Structure 1
Amino acid sequence: MSGLSAKEAACRPQGGGEALFAEERAYRAAACVVDPEIPVVTIADLGILRSVTMEGDTAVARVTLTYTGCPAVLAIELAVEAALRDAGFKPRVERVITPAWSTDWITQEGREKLRAYGIAPPAKASNSVRALFGETEVACPRCGSHATARISEFGSTACKALYRCTACHEPFDYFKCI
């Protein structure tokens, strides 16, 4: 597919003459939906997209949002429906609330995308006492220094905290460990 980036080529629905099964095609279409609040990561990168299965002629996408009060929930669900419809499927999106989403579900690629965008990715092991009570050591996504300080428990969105690097003096968001 000349002229397409690798991501665009991977996300483009494959035609009927190609060897992809419907469920795989549907998953690929939904997996390419970007997070409306952090447009450099997809819902698959964040672990929000749990599964896509075929039920008859309907592609059923199951999503677990980062938290139930997430203001992006409707935007994500509508974007998944549109992606599935654009790929030629009759879409249905189901919200899965258990188990609750965890930052441990963010892929390694997603963590790197967050860091490159200037957001410190969450530390692993969200169920640790240190992570739960905000004692996590946060590295600056710009210079890598661990000499950082939390300025505010809330950053640009409720799922991020605002930090400042005392080495390079730059403020940055930290994706909270949940």
Structure 2
Amino acid sequence: MDTTIERAWDVLEAVPDPEIPVVSIRELGILRDVRHGDDGVLEVVITPTYSGCPAMSQIAEDIAQAIDQAELGAHRIETVLAPAWTTDWITGEAREKLRRYGIAPPTGACTSTEKPIRFVPRASAVVACPRCGSTHTEKLAQFGSTACKALYRCIDCREPFDYFKPY
């Protein structure tokens, strides 16, 4: 692998997600690729957690700043929407960091590319409280602190928490 690309991966590993600063954009799967374009310019490929994610402009600024500080030369940031980001791309280490931070990581896998249309609600996932581990929890709202999270509450310890919705 090219040393510039290796250095870029290392530098970008330290770029935190602006909404969840305990995990990096690489750990969340937002950082998809680092490569040289046809013109030789360093390209950083990112995919938003959802197409309307308001943090993407901040993420792009943070990437540009990190690359500039590392003096890696000319670069461009490319946002790609396909394939769509999935919670399957979150690393195991990041899931544990989310839990320790007080956000329940997504449960299950979303590897299927075909999603059937459902006319009845699907059974809710069992969501464990990130604080006490109890599965005696309830959903309070479909949306939490951001659109990619739902708001839950633990019945046992009474603490509210965000759940990173799987998709």
| Structure 1 length-normalised TM | 0.83
**Residue in 2 aligned with 1:106?**
90
How many residues align structurally?
157
- The 3-state SS of whatever aligns with 1:174 is strand
In the TM superposition, residue 133 of structure 1 has moved relative to its aligned partner by 4.3
In the TM superposition, residue 64 of structure 1 has moved relative to its aligned partner by 0.5
Segments of 5+ residues of structure 2 without an aligned counterpart are 116-120
- The 3-state SS of whatever aligns with 1:151 is strand
Taking every aligned residue pair, what percent have the same amino acid on both sides? 52
For 2:42 and 2:65, the matched residues in 1 are separated by: 12
Is contact 1:33-1:43 (8 Å) kept? yes
**Residue in 1 aligned with 2:136?**
147
Listed one character per residue, the Cα deviations across residues 41-77 of structure 1 (whole Å, up to 9, x for unaligned) are 1001100000101236522100001001001010001
C-alpha change, 1:65 and 1:159, in structure 2 (3 Å) is same
- The 3-state SS of whatever aligns with 1:112 is helix
Q: Moved runs in structure 1, 4+ residues, more than 2 A?
A: 54-58, 126-129
C-alpha change, 1:133 and 1:52, in structure 2 (3 Å) is farther
- The 3-state SS of whatever aligns with 1:51 is strand
**Residue in 2 aligned with 1:85?**
68
RMSD: 1.8
For 2:64 and 2:41, the matched residues in 1 are separated by: 11
- Does 2:154 correspond to 1:175? no
- Equivalent of 2:13 in 27, 31, 34: 31
Is contact 1:161-1:174 (8 Å) kept? yes
Is contact 1:50-1:63 (8 Å) kept? yes
For 2:5 and 2:111, the matched residues in 1 are separated by: 33
**Residue in 1 aligned with 2:118?**
none
- Equivalent of 1:135 in 84, 99, 124: 124
For 2:108 and 2:4, the matched residues in 1 are separated by: 34
**Residue in 1 aligned with 2:55?**
72
- The 3-state SS of whatever aligns with 2:77 is strand
**Residue in 2 aligned with 1:11?**
none
C-alpha change, 1:103 and 1:133, in structure 2 (3 Å) is farther
Segments of 5+ residues of structure 1 without an aligned counterpart are 1-19
Is contact 1:77-1:93 (8 Å) kept? yes
| Structure 2 length-normalised TM | 0.88
In the TM superposition, residue 159 of structure 1 has moved relative to its aligned partner by 0.7
For 1:88 and 1:166, the matched residues in 2 are separated by: 51
For 1:83 and 1:134, the matched residues in 2 are separated by: 43
In the TM superposition, residue 88 of structure 1 has moved relative to its aligned partner by 1.0
In the TM superposition, residue 95 of structure 1 has moved relative to its aligned partner by 0.5
